[in-house]
Amino acid sequence: MENKFRNETEEQVEITVERKLIELYTLQQVDSKIDKIRIIRGELPLEVQDLEDEIAGMETRITKYDEELEKFAKDIVEYKNKIKDATALIKKYEEQQNNVRNNREYESLTKEIEYQSLDIQLCEKRINDCNKKSEMLKISLNELKARLDERKSDLELKKNELSSIVEETEKEEAELVERSNESEKLIEERLLTAYKRIRKNARNGLAVVKIERDACGGCFNKIPPQHQLDIRMHKKIIVCEYCGRILIDEDIVSMYHNE
């Protein structure tokens, strides 16, 4: 009678642990789906933000290019005015040369004419430089504006995509969160705390993993044969000695799918 009672107790313990493993794996599957939704939705806002930052940077550069072009235009007007003034002075000095009283006055006027002529040449050179720089800047500006239009188009697409995904996944996520909460109620507090701690520390959020090719499905380290046998027995919850994840076998996965 005592042996029979012990066997029934062991069988009950086995079923209980098996049930716990199924519930843990069920919770993991639901939480992984939530993670996937949030990852997809999480990447798009970053892409949108990157595009907005890039567009803002382009618009700032365009403003600076416009300011530079405006400055070149003002400089050209200024140089042309200097040429006009210098030309008028040359004409004035040439007329004065016709009325000089001695060679010294003539030479002095000649030097002034030469000085104004050099100033005209310098202004013409600077006008030429400004025109060349303006042309190069206009080419860069047109290319930048074309890229800006492309980025704005990309941004509009990304925003529409994000809006669509948020709309599609909000309901699904809410349903999954509710299922996750319901699954948590079926797991004892100690196990649930351990599960959440492992999930928090795991890079991919996996706290419950199955054995794959004699290795942990989380960290891929080999599992000793005796541990694999213990895992298949479903008599106690076993964690990976390397990463701490809860280990299950293919039978638990099959039971989960058959429910």
Give the distance, in angstroms, between the CA of residue 119 and the centroid of all CA atoms in the same chain: 54
Per the prediction, the chain carries an average pLDDT of 87
The verdict on residue 258 lying in a domain is: no
Domain hosting residue 82, numbered range: 37-186
Q: Read off the CATH number of the domain in which 126 is found.
A: 1.10.287.1490
- What percentage of the chain exceeds 90 in pLDDT? 50
Answer whether 65's CB lies under 8 Å from 137's CB.
yes
Residue 246 lies in a domain: no
pLDDT tens-digit series, residues 6-64: 443 344 444 478 888 999 999 999 999 988 888 877 777 888 889 999 999 999 999 99
Q: What pLDDT score does 14 carry?
A: 43
CB 21 within 8 A of CB 234: yes
Count of Cβ atoms closer than 10 Å to residue 247 Cβ: 24
- Is 109 contained in some domain? yes
Euclidean distance between CA atoms 15 and 106, whole angstroms:
121
Report yes or no on 70 lying in a domain: yes
Residues 6+ apart with CB under 8 A from 226: none
Can you list the alpha helix ranges (DSSP code H) found in the chain? 2-97, 103-185, 189-201, 225-233, 250-258
Strands across the sheet containing 208-212: 215-216, 208-212, 246-248
118-135 confidence digits (pLDDT tens):
999 999 999 999 999 999
143-198 pLDDT tens trace? 999 999 999 999 999 888 888 877 777 878 888 888 888 888 888 888 899 999 99
Q: Please report whether residue 148 resides in a domain.
A: yes
Does 178 fall in a domain? Answer: yes
Structure tokens at 84: 């006009």
Domain-located, residue 152: yes
* In contact, 215 and 239? CB cutoff 8 Å: no
pLDDT, residue 2, reads: 39
pLDDT tens-place string over residues 71-111: 999 999 999 999 999 999 999 999 998 888 888 989 999 99
Number of domains present in the structure of the chain = 1
Residue 253 pLDDT = 87
d(CA 179, CA 25): 13
* DSSP element (H, E) containing 99: none
Structure tokens at 162: 């994000």
Q: Which two tokens stand for residue 79?
A: 């140089």
**238 domain residue, yes or no:** no
